[in-house]
Amino acid sequence: MRAAWTPAIALAVTIGVAAASAAEARISGPYQNENLSVFLIHADAAPGGKAAAGQYLTLAEALASGEAVVYETGDVNELQVQNTSKDRTLFIQAGDIVKGGQQDRVLSVDLVLPPGSEKTPITAFCIERGRWSARGEESAQEFASAGKVLVGKELRLAAKSERSQQGVWDAVTKTQEKLAASLGADVAAPTSPTSLQLTLENKKVAEAVTQNIAALSKLLEEHPDAVGYLYAVNGAISGGDVYASPALFLKQWPRLLEASATEAVAERLAEATGKTATADDAAAFLTETDALQPTREELPAGVTLVSRGSDKVAAFETQSSAADAWIHRSYIVK
């Protein structure tokens, strides 16, 4: 298995960081392993705000430390989240998968919850069919972990853009079928064959993904100024994420890279585009997408979701009144 990449490139692209200002970002890459290419987005200056990004708890961290609780509500498409930390802000990212409850779910919007928050509703979708009870020793009232995120642009579009439960179920089935075909093995768990979470925990899937990311996992150690990334599979850009600071990106990076690598494993048998994505392609993608007309949606806890879209791409920006800045941008190619 061989990885190859170019030296860091000083290719600049303007990424707006606030309504009245912009920052110059640089794109480096591609950093490549097999059919997965990664482009890093660098920024010399990130937007400020009232909360330092390094002080954010991710949902995975908070559930592991007991500083957040995700509650089952009995409604497939709505859960409740509470930040029980006394001094740290909780950042929940759309695409976070919560394991347990009466069914595994994926959260479909970002939220930013202050320390000691009340229970706050959040939109969710089921990523397994049939189960509506506790699984094994898991709690049916709360969710135990959030170690995985959605994989594949079809799944992310269904949950974040279309917000379609049927679309999510269909995309889960398709993802499982692609992984099984790529690996030549069944990836469904006997205890819950339709669970995406358990498929992502499958030993053969985990081994293949680990091999795919080994050459790329230390990229942020080499590029501490990176604030985000775009990735390409089989030569075509698939999506990416950008954050308000390197610290928040660093926290999210292991799960983001794992998800991108899982998509690449699932798409190994797909026909390649015949070309290699370049830094120029990545820069043009960001510039064109950020120029699209935005729509705004007010979410709980002072969060505003700004969406941009076309027949080619869906993009989302999370703004927080608590941080007085944007926190996260997500891009998905259709």
What is the per-residue pLDDT across 143-157, written as a single tens digit (0 to 9) for each? 999 999 999 999 999
> Whole-angstrom Cα distance, residue 282 to residue 223?
18
Q: Where are the domains of the chain?
A: 3-47+208-333, 53-198
One DSSP character per residue, 183-249 reads HTS---BTTBTT-HHHHHT-HHHHHHHHHHHTTTTTHHHH-TTEEEEEEEETTEEEEEEEESSHHHH
What integer pLDDT is reported at residue 20 of this predicted model?
27
Mean pLDDT of 51-58: 69
Average pLDDT over the chain reads: 89
pTM for the whole thing? 0.89
Its sign, for the CA torsion 283, 258, 198, 176, is positive
Mean pLDDT of 174-190: 97
What integer pLDDT is reported at residue 325 of this predicted model?
83
> Whole-angstrom Cα distance, residue 88 to residue 61?
11
Task: Give the pLDDT band of residue 224 (cuts 50, 70, 90).
Answer: very high
Mean pLDDT of 7-17: 44
Tens of pLDDT, residue by residue over 252-304, are 999 999 999 999 999 999 877 778 899 999 999 999 999 999 999 999 999 99
One DSSP character per residue, 100-156 reads ESSS-EEE-S-EEE-TTPPPEEEEEEESSSS--S--TTS-SSBEEEEEEE--SHHHH
Q: Which residues lie closer than 8 Å to 200 by C-beta, 6 or more apart?
A: 97, 148, 151, 206, 262
271 is written with which tokens?
Answer: 């026909």
Closest CA to 286 of 8, 28, 13: 13
Task: Give the pLDDT band of residue 49 (cuts 50, 70, 90).
Answer: very low
278 is written with which tokens?
Answer: 């370049």
Mean pLDDT of 20-48: 76
What integer pLDDT is reported at residue 54 of this predicted model?
53
